[in-house]
Amino acid sequence: MRVSNRFVAWWVLVFLLAAPTAVTVLAQNVNPGVLPPHSRPYGLTQGEWSARWWQWVFSIPASANPLIDSTGANCANGQSGPVWFLAGSFSATQTSPGVFEAIETRSCTVPVGKALFFPIINAECSTAEGNGTTEAELRDCADFLMDHLADLTATIDGVAIRNLTAYRLQSPLFTFTLPQDNILALPPGTTPSVADGVHLMLAPLSAGAHTVHFSGALLFPEFDFTFRLDITYHLIVR
């Protein structure tokens, strides 16, 4: 059957008019396998997922918390639903005056079909920590901390993620609950908080071995203070 060029052009026009959102997303997503920062994976904004990340990590007692895990043995603790979280580290070592570094290499098994969400560098500000009493004060605190971001890198199986600053996002106001033995060493209870940071949501990885690496820094020259983070996850998806 012969098809005219005019007929083909008409159908191309119909497709473009019917699916502008899909075309725009494909054009803008420069990192295949990483969900765009303004997408709504599994019904939540990525800002809301960042709040879920903090609720997850603060709910786990210090003795089993993934943030102070040097091997990956605790990576499955508290995980549920379609998204698994990866953690940075609270275990920083002072390497020179005013410079603290947290470097971890972990091994972890992840169920097939799970998306992965993790911060490269993030922070939260809560009333329990004395960061403010209003939402505006908490947001100013979180924003101030993340305005000192530097040296961001992330690779998935050796492929570098580009334009990482585009993945910075702030959470809505949320609450988290600290257990008796918590990593903040504060009295147990529930507190309002706001989070800010650079986060990545990865589409589910294929079955097999994968390596996720991310690093970054917070530089505070006004306080002569530097925090550097370098995390490697060796993942088995099965």
E strand spans, the chain:
83-85, 93-96, 99-110, 115-126, 149-156, 159-160, 168-170, 174-178, 189-202, 208-220, 225-237
Residue 23 lies in a domain: no
Report, as an integer, the average pLDDT of 177-191.
Answer: 97
pTM to 2 decimal places: 0.87
- In a 10 Å sphere around its CB, with 0-12 CB exposed, 13-18 middle and 19+ buried, how is residue 175 labelled? middle
List, as one string, the DSSP characters of 26-91.
HHH--STTB--TT--GGGS-HHHHHHHHHHHHHHS-GGG-GGG-SSSTTTTTT--SSEEE----S-
Task: Write out pLDDT tens, residues 194-218.
Answer: 999 999 999 999 999 999 999 999 9
Candidates 145, 203, 140, 139; CA nearest to 171 is 139
Pairing mode, strands 99-110 and 225-237: parallel
Residue 24 lies in a domain: no
Residue 107 lies in a domain: yes
Residue 9 lies in a domain: no
Q: Residue 169: how many CB atoms within 10 A of its CB?
A: 21
Determine the 3-state secondary structure of 134 from DSSP: coil
- The per-residue pLDDT for 16 is 29
The residue with tokens 């589910």 is 204
pLDDT tier at 30, thresholds 50, 70, 90? confident
Residue 103 lies in a domain: yes
Task: Write out pLDDT tens, residues 37-92.
Answer: 999 999 999 999 999 999 999 999 999 999 999 999 999 999 999 999 999 999 99
- Tokens linked to 52: 């879920």
- The per-residue pLDDT for 28 is 58
Instruction: Indicate if the pLDDT at residue 2 is higher than 70.
Output: no
Total domain count for the chain? 1
Task: Write out pLDDT tens, residues 103-128.
Answer: 999 999 999 999 999 999 999 999 99
Residue 13 lies in a domain: no
- The per-residue pLDDT for 56 is 98
Residue 148 lies in a domain: yes
**Which range marks the domain in which residue 186 is found?**
33-237
